[in-house]
Chain A
Amino acid sequence: MSVEAAPDTGLRQATSALRRGGRIRDYGIVVALVAIVIALSLSTNTFLTTGNMINLLDQCADIGLLAAGATICILSGVFDLTASASLALAAIVGVDVTRVAGIPLGFVAAVAAGAGIGFVTGTVVARSGVNSFIATLATSIVYRGLAVVVTGGAIIYPLTRQASDFAVLTWPSLFHLTSATVVFIVADAIIAVIVATTTFGRRIYAVGGNAEAARLSGIRTGQIRVAVYVVSGICSALAGLILASRAGSANSSMATGEELTAIAAAVIGGTSILGGEGAIWRGVVGALLLTLISNGFNLLGWNTTYLQVVTGCLILFAVAVDRALRQQRE
């Protein structure tokens, strides 16, 4: 036997061909998304309908917002496990203020609360020096607890006369899309532009790629991290408003576990879990992919009990392929 590596050569040639062919590797996830869209379009006649598209994007709105928040945090080298707890707390603030001061002020208060919560989380992470995974795990428990304290564990509703207007985010809006979809697309687009074109965005990548090199280049790494948590908090609050508007209520156990779905969406999209590499649009594509799979299950009439198994396998597959391609590149 020898150390000849014959079995690898085929793969190596294939990947080097890919590299020459315009870095398809970087857009593999888009290819996957398009493939699923094509497959569903061909195998069902309900998928490619205006109604289903509107429905699909509406379903994607909350997770799409959370995914953008998760992605901006991961890019800067931190995790935000408070996302769903912040979502619940901000939504509760939104409903409570709505009861007192009306719907517009209620929505504004929710977003402000999300930003404030993000500021607190970010400050805790930046100042304590505790690993962000642990620090945000702990603060998320505190936020859930506060949500229970504020609501007394009950479901809270806007006043009866406000109920129909409170559902504003479920209403049709531009191009027949729901208002929730418009909020999701506009907010994510703004964040994507900030990350891709501003000095702030450039600093996020630097801090995530190498915090010490960034610090020695004159970047205030703590401030950058607080700022990304504020952005993530705002995303959580917007997602919370969408869920509350849809349900007509808020409660302390809203969206439990969604922070992990958001991180999964970010990673499926191809953002490096190690920080410094990735993009907001990738998180959005990841969220779309997850939504598409569950949509496809419904349309194909597959038993949705298998949905989680498929989703979990997809996450593993995406990350494993990403890792393999990265190693090829090294």
Chain B
Amino acid sequence: MIQTGTRAPAISVRGVGKSYSGVTVLRDIDLDIEPGEVHGLVGENGAGKSTLLKILGGAVRADAGSVSFDGERVTIANPRDAIAHGVSLISQEGALVPAMSVLENVFLAHWSHRSGFRRGRPDLARFHELLGLTGFKIDPRARVASLPMGTQQQVEILRSLARGARVLALDEPTAVLTNVEKENLLDLITRLAGAGTTVILVSHFLEEVLAVAGRISVLRDGALVTTGDAAEQSPNTLVRHMVGREIDVLFPDPAPVPESAPVRLSARGLRRGIVADLDLTVRAGEILGLAGLVGSGRTETLRLLFGADRAQRGTVEVDGVTLTHLTPRRGMAAGIALVPESRKEEGLVMVRSLRENVALASLGDRRLGPLIRRSSERSAVDEAMASVDVRAARKEAAIRTLSGGNQQKALFAKWLMRSPQVLLIDEPTRGVDVGAKSQIHHLITKLAADGMAVICVSSEIEELLALSHRVIVLRHGRAVGDFPRGTPSEVVIAAAFGDEGATA
């Protein structure tokens, strides 16, 4: 209902808070969002952006506070309530039924029907209407599982519109999109807002938020730091609000590699999947960076070097000894360690304790026959954790209860307990707060200075260039450039994208 006089905000949040097992993730949020506004929501990992969206979308219940839509206080106990109020949440994970068609997903649970029997034609007509509105091109009969991520997201947006969403809450919508898809989406957001839909946009890409949002709110540690017109903000001012202080962006300088340093690891003609005939060498004390776009074969290369996947062709040598039939066990025996990309999927056993996780890769070093020597395990783990500065009060609590930074440091500790010769690191600081990030950078340079050979993959190009003695750029699984320290980032990025002059 449109009220006379001043219009009520589309969404009005008052004193909303949420905590999990005593850890406050949102506290006392007051926020008004006007109808037809694009509202940007930014903050560091763990600042509470997603939680706030989930509360509005009914996926999570708030512990405190109230929410009003169009001036009317409402209870959002579950996603159904939110949908009934016209709020549609499009989350990072996606909420489609993969085995169903696009059409079935768009009208999921809202199919047009007569006495329970579905009638396809009205739905199809409505579907084409929505395509016209959004400018998407999707085959209604295609199975959702067969579609690329970007298209799946479009299906979710269509579904929101089909349900008559008046508020569209998008959580990191551009993270999975190509550049063209990204621009189309931002364009669509602007048009939808012009037509009266309220949009809440959560994104890590500040430029993007600044481009489309009318107003922007910044969250830090679960609290709302500021809300204001986007025109008054810049990436720098936003970052300052997000971090709450000037960030120490100074990376540690790696110690120079001695001329006499021997080659620790060399790979010749590695091939599997995307990785095609890759050669690389790394010397003792050297930090080698692997750069490239997502899907260029960086992670795959590290996995081949460690033996996580078996190479179809090619050899890996450590200290001149060829490793045949490389498996994780053989790789570890040769002194290789891999800090994998995903802590949750590949790195840690989330339900087990910090101590058990840190001890896992070196159980054989502290045993008496088949028995674990508890006391020596405890002291070894304590020592390893001190060396990477893990500050965890509860060593016996499941490791999933620790912060991302502590989890990542625990993962380093686990591998350092084996005193490896070669350390392979995939995304050393993903999902880690600023403080822990800097500690991890110092740790990596220190390990190299002590003689370890390090190969590091990172999507953060500045981080990679600052840490590495040398950077190899991968494109479609091939090394297309080998750059010394001090190469400007534009040159490396150009090589990754495949511009002129960068091909080897």
Contacts and interface: CB of A to CB of B under 8 A. Distances in A.
Nearest to A274: B351
Interface in A187-202: 194, 197-200, 202
Contacts, number: 103
Interface in B108-141: none
Interface residues of B, number: 42
B307 to A, nearest CB: 9
Interface centre among B328, B349, B350, B351 (most CB of A within 10 A): B349
Nearest to B329: A218
Contacts of B20: 330
B479 interface: no
A214 interface: yes
Contacts of B308: 215-216
Interface in B220-256: none
Nearest to B366: A199
A304 interface: no
Contacts of A1: 73-75
B386 interface: no
B61 A5 contact: yes
A197 B346 CA distance: 25
B62 A199 contact: no
Contacts of A194: 370
Contacts of B67: 2-3
A199 B352 CA distance: 15
A197 B367 CA distance: 10
A274 B67 CA distance: 36
B286 interface: no
B64 A5 contact: yes
B181 interface: no
B179 interface: no
Interface string B341-364: 000011111111000100111011
A59 B182 CA distance: 66
Nearest to B332: A218
Nearest to A276: B351
Interface string B284-319: 000000000000000000000010100000000000
B356 A205 contact: yes
Contact of B328 (A2, A4, A217): A217
A202 B351 contact: no
Contacts of A330: 20-21
Contacts of B372: 197-199, 202
Given A1-B74, A220-B329, A329-B21, A210 B348 contact: yes
Nearest to B400: A330
B345 A212 contact: yes
Chain A interface size range: 20 to 34
B421 to A, nearest CB: 15
B472 interface: no
B270 interface: no
A93 B52 CA distance: 63
A39 interface: no
Given A2-B73, A4-B66, A209 B352 contact: yes
Interface in A76-113: none
Interface string A220-249: 100000000000000000000000000000
A5 B63 contact: yes
Tell me whether chain B's interface is mostly helix, strand or loop, or mixed: mixed
A219 B64 CA distance: 46
Contacts of B74: 1, 3
Interface string B454-481: 0000000000000000000000000000
Contacts of A212: 345-346
B203 to A, nearest CB: 25
B347 A213 contact: yes
Contacts of A4: 62, 64-66
B356 A16 contact: no
Given A216-B308, A216-B338, A220-B329, A5 B62 contact: yes
Contacts of A16: 22
B360 to A, nearest CB: 5
Contacts of B504: none
B340 interface: yes
B328 A199 contact: no
Nearest to B66: A2
A202 B371 CA distance: 10
B16 interface: yes
A35 B306 CA distance: 53
Interface centre among B308, B345, B372 (most CB of A within 10 A): B372
A136 interface: no
Contacts of B367: 199
B55 interface: yes
B492 interface: no
B76 interface: yes
A217 B364 CA distance: 12
Interface in A42-74: none
Contact of A272 (B63, B329, B351): B351
Given A3-B76, A215-B328, A218-B361, 9 more contacts: A16-B22, A198-B370, A199-B364, A202-B372, A205-B349, A209-B349, A210-B350, A213-B347, A276-B349
12 contacts: A3-B66, A3-B76, A4-B62, A16-B22, A194-B370, A205-B352, A206-B349, A213-B348, A216-B347, A217-B328, A276-B349, A277-B352
Interface of B: 16, 20-22, 55, 61-67, 73-76, 306, 308, 328-329, 332, 338, 340, 345-352, 356, 359-361, 363-364, 367, 370-372, 414
Top 7 closest A-B pairs, CB basis?
Answer: A209-B349, A2-B66, A1-B75, A217-B361, A198-B370, A210-B349, A276-B351
